[in-house]
């Protein structure tokens, strides 16, 4: 009987990063369940030999990656692979797996899974902080071994030259920052939402992505040809030649569209009636600053510094951070670089910072709360930022401010950082402008008093939307409730912009909303003049700005602000008459 010809199938999800990509699927992580089957006593040795081969193979792959990352990114980034190499070669771990197999007479993959589960629990619950910190590393190393045994091509993430569609149950921001844009053509995941950080990173990388594809583990296999359609939120498995041709045509059209948009890069961001609008970049990895320059961003409105911390195996020290920030500041000069202090929690965490499991991570140990809980970490970062300020224009931005107390305590640490640098005789900028993210509803409500104690505010509509509407931004099950155009969100955004402008303080939006061309007239009409977004989005937003007038924009905003539903707001933006 001949092999069955694979059928073309379409999976539905949520498109979170526009574009189309064609490539072969590479499966990452937990997507497949680990097989469990009984073995005979005499098979144990054979299974152990498989384990040894997988250990050797994993160790070789880690060594290769360590060298590569060290050459391309530096020693610090590469150290994580060294730590993993030591773990994969750990004799104790091998002995545990062997014991387990002898006792249970189950295959080696099942034994590894059980040992991982058991050790992971012991690590997480340990009194010893070092062991707790290693729990995630252990999982990572274990998955690598399993991938190897089950021939999952995990290394394709870093090694494949061809185009790869990365399939995963969920993409963690830490994995996404490690991926090489030149090799990854698209992402598809079972979980995640529009403003999950991995989705934001996918957009910044210009990699088409679809999340929330239910049943992905059953549907997808390594090496499957697939098309990711980030516009429609669909994934085509085993596309027919006709479908491939159709998508190739679309890809060519997109390339032509990008070409015409290239012309926009050099044009000023000014409305038809002469109003200047500042378009800034959101950056994360150091190289993003090159993208900001390429798209002629007039500053960095949001530097998400946590990604520097996520790709390391321990906290970067002051000197190392200073070098990173200084590079961005010098490259962007004379434009300002707004450096946000470490914003951990939610879907971003560090393998080396102990954390407890939280029932509601987005409402938990996040942002400035983590930093204030580790004032030395915060102070080190602030000192590095102040020092970078000597080389251009730097601004400090505090994330997740929910109370005046938090803001004041953060400013106090900033003052101490300046004093310490002064006492140490280290050159630094003594008057770095200070800003607060307005992304928690309480901060938005407190805006009239809060703006008095800062130099600028930046509205984080990603979090603000999730908190106002009580919708987890990464949870695809509730994604249809996640609606930044909801009047509840818009009215609060309007108030914050109004308050800031009344007090003469700069206000920007750095959430994903700012990079959505369809929302631009509305935001202009609300009085917004600073937008910060992924650099790739700048030309599209600029095009709308250049074809708008403030008078029209105000009319649109007026209409949008009197309708009670997001659907009606959308109708207003689409130019349809509001039903009032
Ligand atoms: C936001 O919440 O809108 C924001 C810009 O911050 P982040 O997406 O990093 O949480
Ligand atoms: Mg936020």
pLDDT score at 454: 98
For residue 316, give the DSSP letter.
-
> Among residues 463, 461, 451, 372, which one has the least CA distance to residue 404?
451
Of 114, 117, 84, the residue nearest 99 (C-alpha): 114
Q: Is 215 helix (H, G, I), strand (E, B) or coil?
A: coil
Position 436 scores a pLDDT of 98
What is the side-by-side order of every strand in the sheet holding 164-168? 9-12, 234-237, 225-229, 20-28, 164-168, 184-189, 209-211, 14-17
- Identify which has the larger pLDDT, 95 or 149: 95
Count the neighbouring beta carbons within 10 Å of the beta carbon of residue 234: 18
* Best mutation site among 304, 530, 533 for ligand 1 pocket (most ligand atoms within 8 Å of CB): 304
Q: How far apart are CA 206 and CA 184, in angstroms?
A: 10
Mean pLDDT of 223-237: 90
Output the residue whose Cα is nearest ligand 1's atom 3.
460
More confidently predicted of 506 and 245 = 506
Query: Of the listed 143, 197, 391, 428, which one is catalytic?
Result: 197
User: Residues with Cβ < 8 Å from 289, sequence gap 6 or more?
Assistant: 281, 283, 300, 327, 328, 331, 332
pLDDT by residue (tens digit) across 48-94? 988 998 899 888 888 887 787 677 656 766 777 788 888 889 998 89
* Residue of higher predicted confidence among 465 and 17: 465
What is residue 4's DSSP assignment? Answer: P
**pLDDT tens-digit map of 258-307:** 787 888 999 999 999 999 999 999 998 777 898 899 899 999 999 999 98
Contact of 486 with 460, CB cutoff 8 Å: no
- Please work out whether the CB of residue 341 comes within 6 Å of at least one atom of ligand 1: no
Per-residue model confidence (pLDDT) at position 3: 45
Cβ-contact 334, 392 below 8 angstroms: yes
Q: What is the pLDDT of residue 4?
A: 55
Q: Of the ranges 60-74, 324-338, 407-421, which one carries the lowest mean pLDDT score? A: 60-74
pTM of the entire structure?
0.74
Q: Kindly give the interhelix angle for 375-388 and 404-424, rounded to the nearest 10 degrees.
A: 60
Distance CA 279, CA 541 (A): 8
For tokens 């070098």, the residue is 323
**DSSP-H helix ranges across 425-537:** 441-445, 447-450, 461-469, 487-502, 520-525
CA-closest residue to ligand 1 atom 9 = 304
Average pLDDT over residues 483-491: 98
Mean pLDDT score of the chain: 88
568 lines ligand 1 (CB under 6 A): no
Closest ligand, as measured to the CA of 400: 2
d(CA 436, CA 427): 25
What confidence score (pLDDT) does residue 74 get?
A: 64
């Amino acid at each position: 009987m001949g092999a069955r010809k694979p059928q073309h199938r379409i999976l539905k999800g949520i498109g979170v990063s526009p574009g189309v990509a064609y490539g072969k699927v590479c499966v990452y992580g937990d997507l497949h369940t680990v097989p469990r089957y009984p073995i005979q006593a005499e098979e144990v040795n054979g299974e152990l030999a498989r384990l040894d081969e997988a250990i050797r193979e994993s160790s070789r792959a880690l060594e290769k990656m360590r060298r590569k990352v060290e050459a391309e990114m530096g020693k610090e980034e590469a150290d994580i692979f060294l730590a993993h190499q030591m773990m994969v070669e750990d004799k104790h771990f091998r002995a545990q797996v062997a014991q387990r197999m002898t006792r249970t007479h189950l295959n080696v993959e099942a034994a590894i899974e059980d040992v991982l589960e058991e050790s992971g629990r012991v690590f997480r619950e340990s009194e010893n902080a070092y062991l707790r910190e290693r729990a995630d590393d252990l999982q990572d190393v274990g998955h690598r071994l399993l991938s190897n045994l089950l021939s999952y091509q995990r290394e394709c993430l870093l090694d494949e030259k061809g185009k790869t569609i990365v399939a995963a149950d969920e993409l963690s921001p830490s994995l996404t920052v490690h991926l090489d844009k030149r090799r990854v053509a698209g992402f598809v995941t079972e979980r995640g939402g529009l403003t999950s950080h991995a989705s934001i990173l996918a957009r910044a990388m210009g990699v088409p992505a679809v999340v929330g594809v239910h049943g992905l583990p059953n549907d997808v296999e390594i090496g499957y040809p697939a098309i990711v359609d980030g516009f429609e939120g669909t994934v085509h498995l085993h596309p027919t030649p006709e479908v491939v041709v159709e998508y190739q045509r679309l890809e060519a059209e997109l390339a032509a569209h990008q070409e015409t948009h290239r012309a926009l890069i050099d044009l000023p961001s000014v409305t038809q009636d002469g109003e200047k609008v500042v378009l800034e970049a959101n950056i994360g990895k150091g190289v993003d600053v090159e993208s900001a320059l390429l798209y002629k961003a007039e500053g960095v409105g949001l530097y998400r510094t946590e990604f520097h911390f996520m790709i390391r195996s321990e906290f970067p020290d002051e000197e190392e951070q200073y070098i990173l920030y200084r590079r961005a500041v010098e490259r962007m000069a004379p434009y300002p670089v707004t450096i946000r202090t470490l914003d951990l929690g939610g879907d971003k965490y560090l393998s080396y910072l102990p954390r407890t499991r939280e029932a509601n991570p987005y409402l938990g140990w996040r942002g400035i709360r983590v930093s204030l809980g580790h004032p030395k970490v915060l102070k080190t970062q602030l000192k590095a930022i102040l020092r970078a300020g000597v080389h251009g224009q730097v601004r400090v931005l505090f994330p997740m401010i929910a109370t005046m107390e938090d803001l004041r305590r953060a400013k106090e640490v900033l003052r101490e950082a300046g004093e310490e640098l002064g006492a140490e005789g280290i050159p630094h900028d003594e008057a770095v402008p200070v800003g607060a993210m307005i992304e928690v509803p309480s901060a938005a409500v407190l805006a009239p008093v809060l703006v008095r104690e800062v130099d600028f505010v930046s509205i984080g509509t990603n979090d603000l939307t999730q908190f106002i509407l009580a919708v987890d931004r990464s949870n695809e099950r509730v994604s249809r409730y996640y609606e930044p155009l909801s009047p509840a969100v818009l009215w609060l955004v309007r108030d914050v912009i109004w308050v800031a402008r009344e007090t003469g303080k700069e206000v920007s939006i750095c959430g994903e909303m700012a990079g959505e061309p369809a929302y631009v007239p509305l935001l202009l009409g609300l009085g917004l003049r600073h937008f910060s977004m992924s650099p790739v989005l700048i030309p599209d937003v600029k095009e709308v700005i250049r074809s708008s007038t403030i008078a029209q924009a105000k009319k649109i905003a007026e209409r949008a602000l009197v309708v009670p539903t997001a659907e009606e707001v959308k109708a207003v933006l689409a130019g349809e008459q509001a039903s009032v």
